[in-house]
């Protein structure tokens, strides 16, 4: 993917395009949008910004973001690291929004450079009224080039807001304001083309690159009157860890308790809240299947970390041979209520 950049004196920015709605339009009326706009064509939308700027743009793939995967993201990471070595001041990745909260967190856990890595996308395809792709890409580029964005890891820029990878969630399927950082709020804003941070950069956790990528982490959703069939087969199917997207503050039904107890003796079991906001508890409920009971049985509470991000954390840790350290990382990432 790497390519030599020209020698220059102007600030330089590298943009890697992966696909998603920002790269989509319909082939013919009524056909439905598909990814077909290359990175080079995306650049036309931000001509106002890149006049006088040396921008390097590369189409790394053209897929809907549901079809991105961890192996591909590791390649994207290496590409972004190469851009930094070539001297860019910022890197932007454009992709679909469906998995943006997950890809941002995945890349953030591995991004050790001070140079900003900024992810963005669009909620409306480029051929729709009010398409937001160009505005988001322009904002993301400004953020990536801004010195205040350094040492903040991976940032998500959408709809005039800057979000930290750790906190950002996609919480609406269709709205332009689909992204938020729930209780934490955005890390910053883009107002009148200026990048304004609301908080200082905070200490980050950076993990080693995974040495293996063949392991599997199951994610099971607790629902009312759920059966136990999938849970019964987690170990036999060879999963290396289990994340439970649990009710409320980290609760499951009485039927799930013995199975979880058994699974914790073999593999890590992480319990996150399925509610979309706030934290799991540790010492509030004493019923069977409550968080205190699950902790006693060896499960680990994820705090503010959502189930999707908990799955990424344990997958990366296992890949780096650090699965046993998950409790320590959950304390640092999941229970970090503030950024200071």
65 marked as part of a ligand binding site: yes
Asked if residues 215 and 163 have their Cβ atoms less than 8 Å apart, the reply is: no
- Candidate residues 14, 16, 17, 21; the one interacting with ligand ASP per rule CB under 6 A: 21
Q: What spatial distance separates the first Cα and last Cα of the chain, rounded to whole Å?
A: 37
With CB atoms as reference, the residue minimizing the distance to ligand ASP is 96
- Candidate residues 14, 45, 46, 65; the one interacting with ligand ASP per rule CB under 6 A: 65
Q: Decide: is 16 part of the binding site for ligand ASP (CB under 6 A).
A: no
For ligand ASP, the closer CB: 160 or 248: 160
Residues 69-128 that bind ligand ASP (CB under 6 A): 96-98, 121, 123
**What are the tokens at 247?**
């009710």
For ligand ASP, the closer CB: 14 or 97: 97
Residues marked as catalytic: 21
24-26 and 117-120: which strand pairing?
unpaired
For ligand ASP, the closer CB: 53 or 176: 176
CA distance 72 to 78: 10
CA distance 312 to 105: 8
> Residues 48-73, buried b or exposed e (16+ Cβ, 10 A)?
ebbeeebbbbbbbbbbbbeebeeeeb
Site string (240-279) toward ligand ASP, x via CB under 6 A: ----------------------------------------
- Say how many residues touch ligand ASP, by CB under 6 A: 9
Q: Smallest distance, Å, CB 58 to ligand ASP?
A: 18
Asked if residues 122 and 97 have their Cβ atoms less than 8 Å apart, the reply is: yes
> Residues 99-124, buried b or exposed e (16+ Cβ, 10 A)?
bbbbbbbbbbbbbebebbbbbbbbbb
H or E stretch at 219: strand 217-221
DSSP assignment letter at 7: P
For ligand ASP, the closer CB: 20 or 210: 20
Site string (24-63) toward ligand ASP, x via CB under 6 A: ----------------------------------------
97 marked as part of a ligand binding site: yes
Q: Smallest distance, Å, CB 9 to ligand ASP?
A: 36
Helix intervals (H) in the chain = 39-44, 47-50, 70-85, 100-110, 133-145, 229-233, 254-264, 291-296, 307-319, 326-334
For ligand ASP, the closer CB: 97 or 279: 97
Asked if residues 284 and 291 have their Cβ atoms less than 8 Å apart, the reply is: yes
98 marked as part of a ligand binding site: yes
Q: Smallest distance, Å, CB 161 to ligand ASP?
A: 16
Annotated binding site for substrate: 65, 97-98
Residues near ligand ASP (CB under 6 A) are: 20-21, 64-65, 96-98, 121, 123
């Amino acid at each position: 993917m790497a390519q030599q950049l020209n020698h220059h004196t102007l600030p330089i920015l590298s943009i890697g395009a992966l696909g998603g709605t920002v790269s989509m339009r319909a082939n013919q009326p009524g056909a439905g949008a598909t990814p077909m706009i290359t990175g080079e064509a995306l650049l036309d939308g931000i001509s106002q910004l890149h006049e006088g700027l040396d921008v390097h743009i590369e189409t790394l793939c053209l897929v809907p973001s549901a079809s991105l995967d961890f192996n591909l993201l590791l390649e994207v990471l290496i590409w972004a690291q190469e851009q930094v070595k070539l001297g860019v001041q910022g890197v932007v990745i454009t992709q679909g929004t469906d998995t943006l909260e997950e890809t941002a967190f995945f890349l953030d856990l591995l991004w050790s450079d001070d140079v900003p890595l900024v992810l963005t996308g669009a909620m409306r395809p480029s051929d729709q009224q009010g398409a937001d792709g160009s505005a988001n890409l322009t904002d993301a580029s400004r953020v990536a080039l801004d010195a205040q964005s350094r040492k903040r890891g991976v940032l998500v820029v959408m709809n005039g807001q800057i979000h930290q990878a750790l906190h950002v969630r996609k919480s609406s399927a269709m709205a332009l304001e689909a992204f938020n950082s729930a209780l934490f709020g955005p890390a910053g804003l883009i107002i009148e083309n200026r990048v304004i941070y609301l908080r200082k950069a905070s200490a980050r956790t950076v993990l080693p690159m995974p040495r293996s990528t063949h392991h599997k982490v199951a994610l099971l959703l607790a629902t009312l009157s759920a059966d136990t069939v999938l849970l019964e087969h987690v170990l036999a199917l060879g999963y290396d860890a289990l994340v439970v997207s649990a009710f409320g503050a980290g609760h499951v039904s009485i039927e799930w308790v013995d199975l979880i107890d058994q699974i914790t003796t073999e593999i890590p079991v992480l319990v996150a809240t399925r509610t979309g906001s706030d934290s799991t508890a540790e010492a509030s409920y004493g019923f069977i299947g409550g968080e205190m009971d699950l902790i006693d049985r060896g499960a680990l509470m994820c705090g503010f970390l959502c189930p999707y991000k908990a799955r990424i954390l344990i997958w990366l840790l296992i890949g780096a041979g650090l699965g046993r350290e998950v409790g320590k990382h959950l304390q640092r990432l999941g229970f970090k209520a503030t950024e200071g």
